[in-house]
Amino acid sequence: MTTDYRQTLLRYPTRRQFLQLAGATLPGLVLSGCGWTLANVRPTTSTQSSSKELYIYTWAGYTDQDLLDRFRDETGITAIADVFDSNEAMLARLQAGGGGGYSIIYPSDYMVQKMVELGFLIELDRSRLIGLDLLFPQFQSPIYDPKNLHSIPISWGTTGLIYNTKKLQPPPQDWGYLWDYQQQLAKRMTLLNDVREVMGATLKMLGYSYNSKNAQEIEAAYKKLTQLKPSLASFTSDAWRSQVLSGDLLIAMCYSSDANEIISENEDLQYVLPKSGSSLWVDTLAIPTTAPNLEGAYAWINFMLKPDVAAQICERLSFAVPNKEAFNLLPSEIQQNPSLFPSDEALQKCEGIAPVGNFEEVYDRYWTKLTSK
């Protein structure tokens, strides 16, 4: 890992990755000053006997010390945030019994559905929540959690392509661009290191669902990707950032929030949501069934539903907010930023990633074949 790359990640930690960097550069360190704990600090139910302490399990970059300090000042509760780098890692931790001390977790949309099926999330007491009516209508009863019975959306975004407008003409409009201009883009393009995103985007390009449960469709997506594989620089959810900024990469598959941060570094970069459709991801707040501090958990959710708090999170972290009152507080340039807030027409072609049951094995089998070649 180069020094420049390390500095880029420290400046802009992706929503999907952080622990790999921290493990390489900060082994065993507790980053309490930044609002998170790592490595050797793992809460258990016994460590959180006080109602004045709240342990949170979240994505990197979703909290900072200012946010935690304000919460403590307003509620008298000290919040300690621990970070995970994937939904699967978070679930595995809870399944192994190592997450008993957390009272708030941040699962993504499809993981909410999976955790409900596994019995890991409590049904929320709506009488204890303040501000649910402030959510945009499409977030008040999402398909992954009807009526928000088990989760509250906190941020959302899309998956698309970031590219250099000065070096790519014509500009990309859809996923098929990667194949159509494969020779020009050879070894200067990357895809996410994420089976459901990469397979899903290819399925969408072929006219299928991001969440296909059809073995022939999944195989077709795999075969299409094998044609592109020789021209890829890598599968990565991180390294594209510094490489796009340096000009080594011409185009990269990425999350909208990450793209929006990087674009501020170079005005020649632009994010496009593919016209055939993509994924629309939502990250949520939920309370695990083992939560030792329910009062603190509800206090945190209500705190995060405050319009001014949600607006500050949007401005600081580049995540689109599902809170309409928070949206109204944002500067006009953010409200009109298509990377964060695409048109309704574009969003209608997007799908949330949903659990696919036993077909996870099919996806994983083809992914292993694709990435191991």
Pair of tokens at residue 25:
């550069």
Mean pLDDT rounded to a whole number for the chain = 86
Q: Are residues 266 and 254 in the same domain?
A: yes
Q: How far apart are CA 219 and CA 202, in angstroms?
A: 11
pLDDT per residue over 108-122, tens digit each? 998 999 999 999 999
Q: Are residues 146 and 210 in the same domain?
A: no
- Taking phi first (over 0 means left), then psi (-120 to 50 degrees means alpha), and beta for anything else, what does residue 145 get? beta
Q: How far apart are CA 356 and CA 13, in angstroms?
A: 29
HSE-CB at 52 with a 13 A cutoff on CA atoms is 3
Residue 57, pLDDT above cutoff 50: yes
pLDDT of residue 7: 37
Q: Read off the pTM.
A: 0.78
Q: Are residues 209 and 239 in the same domain?
A: yes
Number of domains in the chain: 2
Q: How far apart are CA 23 and CA 231, in angstroms?
A: 30
> Chain-centre distance of CA 22, in angstroms?
18
Residue 15, pLDDT above cutoff 80: no
pLDDT-based confidence at residue 99 (cuts at 50, 70, 90): confident
Most confident segment among 56-70, 77-91, 277-291: 277-291
**What's the CATH code of the domain at 232?**
3.40.190.10
Beta strands at 53-59 and 104-105: parallel, antiparallel or unpaired: parallel
User: Nearest-CA neighbor of 327 among 315, 343, 342, 317?
Assistant: 315
- Cβ count within 10 A of residue 51: 14
Beta bridge partners of 153: 284
Domain range for 186 is 159-278+354-372
Q: Are residues 202 and 339 in the same domain?
A: no
Query: Under DSSP, is residue 257 helix (H, G, I), strand (E, B) or coil?
Result: helix
Query: Under DSSP, is residue 33 helix (H, G, I), strand (E, B) or coil?
Result: helix
HSE-CB at 339 with a 13 A cutoff on CA atoms is 22
Characterize 314-341 residue by residue with b for buried, 16 or more Cβ atoms within 10 angstroms of its Cβ, and e for exposed: beebbbbbbbebbbebbeeebeebebbb
Q: Are residues 247 and 164 in the same domain?
A: yes
Query: Under DSSP, is residue 186 helix (H, G, I), strand (E, B) or coil?
Result: coil
Q: Are residues 331 and 256 in the same domain?
A: no
Q: Are residues 234 and 246 in the same domain?
A: yes
Residue 294, pLDDT above cutoff 50: yes
